[in-house]
Structure 1
Amino acid sequence: MGRAWERSKLLIWVWCVLCGSCVGRFVVEKSSLKVSAPKSLKGSYESSMGNFGVPLYGGSMLGTVVYPDDNRDACKSFEGFNASLATAPRGSPTILLADRGGCFFTTKAWNVQNGGAAAILVADDKKDEDLITMDAPGENHGDSDYLQNITIPAAFITESLGDNIKKALSAGEMVIVTLDWTEALPYPDERVEYEFWTNSNDECGPKCDTQIEFVKNFKGAAQILEHKGYAQFTPHYITWFCPKQFLSTEECRSQCINSGRYCAPDPEQDFSKGYNGRDVVLQNLREICFFKVANESNKPWLWWDFVSDFAIRCPMKEKKFNKECAEKVIQSLGVDLEKINQCIGDPDADKDNPVLKAEQDAQIGKGSRGDVSILPTLIINNRQYRGKLDREVVLKAVCAGFQETTEPDICLSSDIETNECLENNGGCWQDEVANITACQDTFRGRVCECPLVQGVKFVGDGYTHCEASGAPQCEINNGGCWNETRGGRTFSACVDDSSTGCKCPPGFTGDGVNSCEDVDECKEKKVCQCPECKCKDTWGSFECTCSGGLLYMQEYDTCISTHPVTKSFGVFFWIVILGLTAAGVGAYMVYKYRIRSYMDSEIRSIMAQYMPLDGQAEVPSHGSHTDI
C-alpha cells in the first residue's frame, strides 16, 4: 500500500509538472498555401507549420504536388522515389501529399525527405476540424535521433483541400502550389524582439542536448545582432507550481523552492538519485538574474557566454551542476556576483520571488501569442517560431522580422539568402560607369529603389532611370553631365545647385550632357578688339597680347605702355621723399624755436625774483623788523 501510494503521488506530480500544456491557450501558427493550377482549385488557402523541419521564413517554395499510389500515409520508406524526380513536371520541386495517421508526423517527413521530395503536405482525416500544429514525439520516444536532421518544410492542410487535390490528380490534372512563408512573421520596424524559453537542465535527453547546442552555435549571431542594436533578446525559463495538497511531500520539497511556488521536473525522472528539480530551478533563477544584471550594465549579450560556458564547465554528468561552479563562471565574465545573489533572494522563504513570478506571468499568452508550455520555445516579434532549433534556420526566422532594406549584413550573407542583384542587376537601373545601382538586396528578395550615394539622392522609378538630385550632385558621376580634362585643366557642365540639368561652362557650347564644344572667342570678335591687340584661341578660353611691348588690360580690353608708368612713378617717388624731408626739417625748426622760447621765459622769471630788470620798479620788502 505504501509503495503504491508513493507511486501514485509520483504520477500525480508528473501530471502536475508536465500537463500544464493541457489547459494552456495554444495558438496554431499558419502560413499561406496558394494553388495556381488547376483553375478549379486556384486560390489561397491556410496551412499550419509543423514544430519540426525548416519553414522558409520570409520566403516561398513553388512545387508540383504528387500523391503516391502506395504508402499514402508515408509511414514507410520510399525506395526508388528519387528516380521519379528526374521526370518531375516542369522540373519543379516535388511536394508530396500524405494522409494523416499511422505514424508520427516526423516519421512521415523523414521518409518523404529521404525519398527526395522538397516538402510534405499532410492532409487531415477529420472533417471540418480546425488546423493543428504537427509536433515531434515526446522525449521518451527512443528512436528520435533523426528529428534534428529533418530539413524539409512540413505543412498541415484540411481534409477538404486534401480531397480536392487528390481528385484533381486522379483526373490527370497537374497541381501546382506555392508554400508561402513571406508573411509568417510580422516585421513592424527596424528592430527584432525575440525571446527564448529554455531550461538549465542538461539531462533531459535529446531536447536538452538540442537546446545546449543551439545556444553554443547561435551565440555568435545573437551577439552580433545585439552589439549593434539590431535585436533585443530576452531569455525566459518555465516553472510550474506544486498543488497545495502535496506541499508537504518529499517530491514537492525536492523539486520546488519558495514553498512549492516554483518547481521543475527531476532531471533523471528518478527522485532517489542525482540532481533534483530544486537544483534546476535555482540555476534557472541564477541565469535569469545574470541576464538582468548584465543588461543593466548594457551587456545583455553576456548571457550567451554564461549559459554556454556553464554547460561546458558545470555539467550534471560530472557532478558540477552547482552554485560554486556557476559563480566561478560568473566571475570569469566580470559580472557583479553580489548583485546576482541579491536578485536570487531567499529560495526557502514562504513568499513570492518577484523574478520567477514575472516569468510565470510571462508564460501566459497575449494577443497573437499563445501560452508557453513546452520547451524549447522561441518567440519572434510576438509570434511563436515553428521549426527545428538550428542556427541557420532560426537566424532566417529572425531576419524575416526586419523591414525590407533595414536588415543587418548578417541577414544578407550567402548562407542565409540569395542575392538577386547579382544576376542581371535584378532587372533594376544601373550606371555601370559610376558603379551605381538601384537594386537593393533584402532578405525577402530584391527591390528596385533609386539609391542615396555619398549624400546625393537619386530620383526615378528605379527600373528604367535614376538621376542625381540636388547638391552636391556633381560628386557622383559628375551629375551625369559632360566633363573633360586637357593639359591639366578640367571643365564640367555640372553645377552643384538645385538644378538637375547640365549646362556647358563659359567658353563652351553644347547640350552639356553628351558634349560641350570649345567656342572660338577670337573668331567671333567678342574679345581682344583694340588696334594693338593680338588674339589667340585656347581650349575653353583665349589669350590676348599687345604688340610693341605694350601691356594688355583685360578689364578695359586695351593696351597701355609700360615706360610712362615707370617714369611717372619714379618722379612721384622722389617728390614724395623730398616732401617728407622738407616737412621733417620744418618740424624740427619749429620744435627748436619753441624750446628756446620756453627756456628764455623760465630764466627771466627766475632772475626777476632777485633783481629788477629793465623797466621794473624795486619791490619793497614787507618782512619782520627790529626796534632800536
Structure 2
Amino acid sequence: MKIKLGFLLVNLMMVWLDCCMGRFVVEKNSLKVTSPDKLKDTYECAIGNFGIPQYGGTLVGAVIYPKSNQKACKTFDDDASFKSKPGSLPIFLLADRGDCYFTLKAWNAQNAGAAAILVADDRVEPLITMDTPEEEDARADYLQNITVPSALISKSLGDSIKKALSNGDMVNINLDWREALPHPDERVEYEFWTNSNDECGPKCESQIDFVKSFKGVAQILERKGYTQFTPHYITWYCPEAFTLSKQCKSQCINHGRYCAPDPDQDFNKGYDGKDVVVQNLRQACLYKVANESGKPWLWWDYVTDFAIRCPMKDKKYTKECADQVIQSLGVDLKQIDKCIGDPTADVDNTILKTEQEAQIGKGSRGDVTILPTLVINNRQYRGKLDKGAVLKAICSGFEETTEPDVCLSEEIETNECLENNGGCWQDKAANITACKDTFRGRVCQCPIVQGVKFSGDGYTHCEASGSLRCEINNGGCWRKTQNGRTYSACIDDHTKGCKCPPGFKGDGVNNCEDIDECKAKTACQCPECKCKNTWGSYDCSCSGNLLYMREHDTCISKDVSAEVSWGFVWVIILGLAAAGVGGYAVYKYRIRRYMDSEIRAIMAQYMPLDNQPEDPVHHSHGNV
C-alpha cells in the first residue's frame, strides 16, 4: 500500500502542536438579535473561513428558514429566491449543519440571492471554524467565488430562531464585525503565512492572485509606516526514525528538520517538497535582508515577480531564476545565500527554526495550521483572500479616525454619503461636505479643505476658521460683484463670523443690502452739496466753481488753494518787514541810551554836570 508521506507529515505536525501546548482559536464576531423582543440579546458566532466577512462593519438582515432543502445542500428553485426587494432588509438564510460541505451551503445560498448564511449547529458543542474542504475536494471551482459572509451559530440559538419564525415572528439580526479584530493604535501589525508552492490548485492560484493585486496597497501602507508586515512560512519536521527514508529526503532539508509536502504528491517526478522549503527559506531571507536595509516592501515585488517568471509548470522553479529576480530588485544576493546556508547540513537553520516556533499560538492568537493565513493585530483573519476584504480587515485594525487615505478607496468605502449626504452638514455651493465614508460606515466630521479647517458638530453646521477662511467659499459669508466692484462680508483674519462691509447692512451671511447714504442723510450734508447714491457708497458734488472735500463734508472754491498760497506769502513778507523795523527801532533806542549813559559817566569824572552839586573841598590829603 502506497503511503503519502505528505499526509503523514501533516498528522505528525498536529501531534507536535499538541505536545507543545498549541491550540487552534476559533475567531468570532457578535450577532445581535433586534427582534422579536423575547430573543433580543447579543450572541457569539464563528466566522467562516470562506466568503467575505465585513471586518470593521455591520450587516443587518431578516432571517428566513426555508421550508425545504433546509440543509442547503442542493440548489434552490427559482421560486425560492432570497433576493431582498427594494425598501426591505437583506435576507439571511438559516441552514442546518450536515450532509454536505459548509462551502456548498454558502454557495447555494449566495446563488439564491441571500446576503449572508447562518449555519445552525446540529449538536451541543463549542463553536468551530467552518473551513473549506481538504485535498481533492478543495479543487471545486466555486470555492473562490463565494462572497457572502457566513457564520456558525449554536444549536440553541438556531432552535430559538426556528421557533420564532414558526410562530410568525420576524427575526431581525445585526451581524457585527467591528470588534472582530482589535484596533488599539495608529499602526497595524500583520503577518502573512504563505507558501511558494504554485501547484496546489485553486487555493494556490487565488493566493498568487491576491499577492499580485494587494502588492500596491501593501507597499503604500508599509512605505508610509502605517503597517508593520512580516511574511511567514510553515514547515514540519520528519520524525527521527524516518530521516533516511526516500520520502523524508525528498521533502525535507537539514537532515529532516524542515519539511513540506510534495507539490504533486508524487515522489518520482516534478519538484519535491524540499524544493518548496528552500524557496520558502529564500523568500524569508529576502525579507530579512530587505527589512534590514529599510525596504521590507521589496518582498511583495520579489514574490510577485517570482510567481510570474519562475513557475513550476514552466520548469523554472529554480535557484537560477530566483537569483535573476533578486538581482533585478537590487538586493544583495550574497547576503541572501549566507542566510539560506547549507540545506544539506545536519544543523539548525536560524530562520526556519524561528518560523516553526512562531507557528505556535501566543496570547489571543491560535496556532497557524491553515495556509494561507493572515494574522492582523495578533488575531487570525477568516475569509477569502480578497483585496478589498483584506484591506478592510487591516483598516479595521487602526484606531478609529486614524485610518490612512487608502482605507477610503472606492473598493471598501460604504458609499453612505451618496444618499442624503449621510445626514451630515453640506455646502452644496462650494461642494464641501462633512460626510466621510469609511469601511466602518459614514462619519460626520467637519473637513479640512485646502489647508482651511472647518469646525462644528459635523451634523448641523461646519464653519471655516483661520487666516485663510475667506479663500474657501468666502468663509460662508455674503459676497457680490456689481458694476465692476466686489464687496465681501468675510473678515480675513483669525476671527469667525461675517460682517457687512461699510456702506451695507444685513446679517453678513445671506444678505448685505446697500445703504442709501443720501436718503439717510448721513453724508453730503453741506448747503452747496448734491448727493447721488451708488452701490456700496455715494458720490457728492458741489454747484458752481466749488470742489467737494469728502473728509470734511464741505465745498470750497477750486481756486482757494492759490489764493491761500499768495496770501500766506504776503503775510510772511509783511511780517518780516515789521520785524525788521521793530528790530531797528529797538536797536537804535537801546544803543542811544547806552552811549548817553557812558558819556555822562566819563564826563562826570572831570566836571560837574549841571544836574550834580559841587563837591566840598577837603584838606585831609596832608600839607602842600
TM-score, normalised relative to structure 2: 0.81
**Residue of structure 2 in register with 1:300 after alignment:** 296
Task: Answer yes or no: is the 8 Å Cα contact 1:60–1:182 preserved in 2.
Answer: yes
Q: 2:3 and 2:82 mapped to 1: Cα distance?
A: 54
State the partner residue of 1:45. Answer: 43
Change (3 A) 1:404 1:421: farther
Q: Distance in 2 between matches of 1:158 and 1:531?
A: 98
Shift of 1:158: 0.7
Alignment of 1:429-448 (within 5 A): 429-448=425-444
Give 1:246-285 correspondences, 5 Å limit: 246-285=242-281
1:37 is matched by which residue type in structure 2? S
Which amino acid is the alignment partner of residue 562 of structure 1?
A: S
Q: Deviations over 1:376-408 (max 9, x none)?
A: 101123221111223333233333334455445
Note the alpha carbon deviations across 1:37-82, whole angstroms, 9 max, x for none.
222112211100111122222333333322233333333x134154
Aligned partner of 1:540 in structure 2 is: 536
Q: Tell me the residue number matched to 1:510.
A: 506
Give the Cα–Cα distance (whole angstroms) in 2 for the partners of residues 170 and 399 of structure 1: 40
Letter in 2 for 1:265: P
2:68 alignment partner AA = D
Matched, 1:333 2:329: yes
Q: Which amino acid aligns with 2:251?
A: Q
Q: Identity rate of aligned residues, in percent?
A: 68
Partner of 2:183, secondary structure, is coil
Task: Give the one of 207, 230, 236 matched to 2:203.
Answer: 207
Contact 1:32 1:179 in 2 (8 A): yes
Q: Which amino acid aligns with 1:182?
A: R
Aligned residues of 1:412 and 1:419 also touching (Cα < 8 A): no
Distance 1:481 1:107, change over 3 A: closer
Deviation for aligned residue 1:16: 2.5
Shift of 1:87: 9.1
Q: Give the whole-Å Cα distance in 2 for the aligned partners of 1:547 and 1:115.
A: 92
CA distance in 2, matches of 1:528, 1:10: 104
In structure 1, what residue type is equivalent to 2:176?
A: D
Structure-2 change in CA distance of 1:278 and 1:520 (3 Å): same
Report the 3-state secondary structure (helix = DSSP H, G, I; strand = E; otherwise coil) of the residue aligned with 2:216.
Answer: helix
Cα distance change on mapping 1:144 and 1:19 into 2, 3 Å: farther
Structure 1 residues 21 and 55: CA distance shift in structure 2, 3 A = farther
Q: Tell me the equivalent position of 2:24.
A: 26
Task: Work out the CA distance in 1 between the residues paired with 2:228 and 2:310.
Answer: 28
Contact 2:6/2:260 (8 A) holds in 1: no
1:570-585 matches, within 5 Å, as none
466, 470, 475: which one aligns with 1:474: 470
- The amino acid across from 1:64 in the alignment is A
CA distance in 2, matches of 1:481, 1:490: 13
Q: Is residue 200–residue 283 contact of structure 1 (8 Å, CA) maintained in 2?
A: yes
Q: Alignment partner for residue 74 of structure 1, among 72, 75, 79?
A: 72
> What's the CA shift string for 1:262-316, capped at 9, x where partnerless?
2222223333333222221111111112223333444433322221221222222
From 355, 365, 388, the counterpart of 1:369: 365
Which residue of structure 2 lines up, in the alignment, with residue 451 of structure 1? 447
CA separation in 1, counterparts of 2:313 and 2:410?
39
Structure-1 residue corresponding to 2:562:
563
Contact 1:13 1:251 in 2 (8 A): no
1:563 counterpart letter in structure 2: A
Aligned residue among 153, 166, 171 for 1:170: 166
SS in 1 for 2:196: coil
Name the SS of the counterpart of 2:59 in structure 1.
strand
Deviation at 1:135? 1.0
Q: 1: distance between equivalents of 2:87 and 2:418?
A: 25
User: Partner residue of 1:134?
Assistant: 130
* Superposed CA offset, 1:92-150 (max 9, x none): 333222222222222322333334433222112222x2111111111233763321122
**Counterpart-to-counterpart distance in 2, 1:441 and 1:271:** 53
* 362-371 or 150-159, larger mean C-alpha shift: 362-371
Who is 1:193 aligned against? 189
1:319 maps to 2:315: yes
1:359 Cα offset (Å): 2.1
Shift in Å at residue 19 of structure 1? 5.5
Residues 193 and 233, structure 1, Cα contact 8 Å, conserved in 2:
yes
Stretch deviating more after TM superposition (558-567 or 42-51): 558-567
Selected match of 2:343 from 338, 347, 363: 347
SS at match of 1:417: coil
For residues 529 and 104 of structure 1, the distance between their equivalents in structure 2, rounded to whole angstroms, comes to 97
Aligned length: 568
1:210 Cα offset (Å)? 2.6
Alpha-carbon spacing, 1:323–1:546, altered in 2? closer, same or farther (3 Å): same
Q: Tell me, which stretches of 5 or more residues in structure 1 are unaligned?
A: 573-628
Determine if contact 1:551/1:562 at 8 Å carries over to the other structure: no
In the aligned structure 1, how far is the partner of 2:325 from the partner of 2:102? 41
2-structure distance, mates of 1:547, 1:271: 116
Secondary structure of the corresponding residue to residue 464 of structure 2: strand
Q: So what's the TM-score if we normalise by structure 1? A: 0.80
Measure how far apart 1:459 and its partner are.
Answer: 2.9
Alpha-carbon spacing, 1:207–1:503, altered in 2? closer, same or farther (3 Å): closer
Query: 2:424 is matched with which residue: 419, 428, 433?
Result: 428
Task: Return the offset for 1:444.
Answer: 1.9
Counterpart selection for 1:120 from 117, 136, 139: 117
3-state DSSP class of the match of 1:442? Answer: coil
Q: Note the 1:34-113 alignment, pairs <5 A.
A: 34-75=32-73, 77-80=74-77, 82-85=79-82, 91-113=88-110
Structure 2: which 5+ residue stretches go unaligned?
A: 572-624
SS in 2 for 1:136: coil
**Which of 365, 375, 379 pairs up with 1:379?**
375
Contact 2:84 2:91 in 1 (8 A): no
Question: Would the aligned equivalents of 2:9 and 2:236 in 1 still touch at CA under 8 Å?
Answer: no
- Label 1:20 to 1:97 Cα distance change in 2 as closer, same or farther (>3 A): farther
State the one-letter code of the partner of 1:176. N
Structure 1 residues 305 and 571: alpha-carbon distance in aligned structure 2, compared to 1, 3 A threshold: farther
Q: Distance in 2 between matches of 1:425 and 1:8?
A: 60
Counterpart-to-counterpart distance in 2, 1:566 and 1:104: 111
